[in-house]
């Protein structure tokens, strides 16, 4: 398994291309720009990340480029509090979800989707979970074990 550095470079180039394309358009309102971000850019970034596990630090260059672009298009200074971008709409925020949060949420949805669907991927996940339970040496499924007690033991045997 690779580190994902090449994928991060590709994603950063995609972000730069999206930002450049929008700056050429020039006629988009801030609302249309944010709709473009949610419908196109964010989806195009999140989809290829499902096969990787990126940390917040890994995604920081992408996130900062997107934050700068979203602040700029809303005519906000780059020093403006990011809480406005990330805040929920009901509290006056713009509802932008950080990439790392979206990345983790999509992984959880992917996991639950295939477990519920009981397709080949879901069955492989159940088999892997069964092997993890055997490695832990307990009769309780590992997902029900106390992480503080078992987290390091089960994952690093």
108 occurs within a structural domain: no
Q: What is the pLDDT of residues 86-121, one digit of tens each?
A: 888 898 887 888 888 888 888 889 889 998 998 999
Residues 6+ apart with CB under 8 A from 74: 30, 33, 34, 94
CA distance 112 to 130: 16
The pLDDT score that the predictor gives to residue 120 is 93
Domain count of the fold of the chain: 2
109 occurs within a structural domain: no
Q: What is the pLDDT of residues 31-51, one digit of tens each?
A: 887 788 888 888 888 888 877
Contact call for residues 93 and 49 (beta carbons, < 8 A): no
* Token pair listed for 3: 């580190």
Q: Are residues 93 and 133 both part of a single domain? A: no
> Residue 46 sits in which domain range?
5-100
127 occurs within a structural domain: yes
Q: Are residues 92 and 144 both part of a single domain? A: no
CA distance 125 to 131: 10
Specify the residue for token string 């009769």.
Answer: 139
């Amino acid at each position: 398994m690779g580190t994902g550095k090449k994928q991060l470079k590709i994603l950063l180039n995609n972000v730069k291309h999206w930002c450049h394309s929008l700056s050429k358009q020039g006629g988009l309102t801030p609302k249309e720009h944010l709709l473009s971000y949610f419908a196109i850019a964010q989806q195009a970034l999140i989809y290829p990340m499902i096969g990787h596990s990126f940390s917040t630090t890994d995604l920081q260059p992408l996130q900062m480029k997107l934050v700068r672009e979203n602040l700029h298009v809303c005519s906000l200074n780059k020093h403006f509090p990011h809480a406005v971008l990330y805040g929920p709409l009901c509290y006056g925020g713009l509802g932008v979800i950080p990439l790392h949060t979206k990345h983790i949420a999509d992984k959880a949805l992917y996991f639950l989707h295939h477990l519920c669907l009981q397709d080949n991927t879901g069955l492989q996940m159940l088999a892997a979970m069964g092997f993890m339970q055997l490695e832990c040496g307990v009769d309780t499924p590992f997902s029900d074990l106390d992480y503080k007690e078992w987290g390091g033991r089960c994952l690093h045997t």
